[in-house]
Amino acid sequence: MVSMGARDRLWFSVGDTLVYPGYGVGVVQNIEERTMGEASRLYCVLSFKETENESKVMIPMDNVHEVRLRPLSDPRRVQEALAYLSNGQPEIVPSWRDRFAQHGDMLSAGDLMSVVRVLKALYILNSKKPLSFREKKMYQKAMLLITSEVCEVLKAPRQQVEADILSRLSKN
């Protein structure tokens, strides 16, 4: 059983919706203690329903900050991110290797604006020449991360959000 003191120190609770960079938007299904050998650790169990199958991830509580688990962006921040898709000018690094590393770091950072900058840069690059396989995957991941958070924050259907994002991107 998890001690009350450990639960009191948490900044989220069961039922909260959180963003886990690289995975998307998940719901805290449980906070549980697991013992392996002599050691006990407290875990956050997140449930993701972005795909046909529900997936679950267990994050050790002592790693929550390291993996950049965070609350959803507020509606104002989401509107700023969507506006950037129409009007923002991302930095596009010419070297594929440097660009891929930079975009990977930005996706790992986990904040909405970093992900939006990656999506916009890759969209612009793709309009000039087809993306490599790895950059296509990165584009799809960025789109999934943005769409899932915007849907949750604005309480809008996925198809509508995706159409809005693509419409904003195509205004360049």
**CATH code where residue 96 lies:** 1.20.58.1290
Higher pLDDT, 23 or 6: 23
Question: Same domain, yes or no, for 76 and 9?
Answer: no
Whether the CB-CB separation of 37 and 84 falls below 8 Å is answered with no
State the first-to-last Cα distance of the chain, in angstroms, to the nearest integer.
55
Phi, psi of 65 (to 5 degrees): -75, -35
Q: What is the pLDDT of residue 51?
A: 58
Q: What is the pLDDT of residue 36?
A: 83
Strand pairing category for 55-60 and 39-48: antiparallel
Say which CATH number the domain at 22 has: 2.40.10.170
Q: What is the pLDDT of residue 111?
A: 92
Q: In angstroms, rounded to a whole number, what is the distance separating the alpha carbons of residues 155 and 54?
A: 20
Q: In angstroms, rounded to a whole number, what is the distance separating the alpha carbons of residues 31 and 42?
A: 7
Mean pLDDT of 147-158: 95
Q: What is the pLDDT of residue 52?
A: 63
Q: In angstroms, rounded to a whole number, what is the distance separating the alpha carbons of residues 22 and 145?
A: 7
Q: In angstroms, rounded to a whole number, what is the distance separating the alpha carbons of residues 50 and 52?
A: 7
The pTM (predicted TM-score) of the whole model is 0.87
Per residue in 132-144, pLDDT tens?
A: 999 999 999 999 9
Q: What is the pLDDT of residue 1?
A: 42
Question: Same domain, yes or no, for 103 and 148?
Answer: yes
Q: In angstroms, rounded to a whole number, what is the distance separating the alpha carbons of residues 112 and 145?
A: 8
Reported confidence tier of residue 172, pLDDT bands at 50, 70, 90: low
Q: Determine the number of helices (DSSP H) and then strands (DSSP E) in the chain.
A: 6, 5
From residue 127, alpha-carbon distances to 117, 124, 153 in Å are 16, 5, 29
Question: Which residue type occupies 41?
Answer: R
Per residue in 74-85, pLDDT tens?
A: 999 999 999 999
Count the Cβ atoms, other than its own, within 10 Å of residue 110: 18
Question: Same domain, yes or no, for 89 and 116?
Answer: yes
Kindly report the average pLDDT of the chain as a whole number. Answer: 90
Reported confidence tier of residue 100, pLDDT bands at 50, 70, 90: very high
Question: Same domain, yes or no, for 127 and 145?
Answer: yes
Determine what percent of the chain is predicted with pLDDT higher than 90: 71
Reported confidence tier of residue 10, pLDDT bands at 50, 70, 90: confident
Mean pLDDT of 18-25: 89
Reported confidence tier of residue 4, pLDDT bands at 50, 70, 90: very low
Q: Pick from 152, 138, 153, 147: which is nearest to 102 by CA?
A: 138
Q: What is the pLDDT of residue 155?
A: 95
Residue 70: its H or E element: strand 70-71
Domain that holds residue 63: 4-70
Q: What's the number of domains the chain is made of?
A: 2
Question: Same domain, yes or no, for 63 and 96?
Answer: no
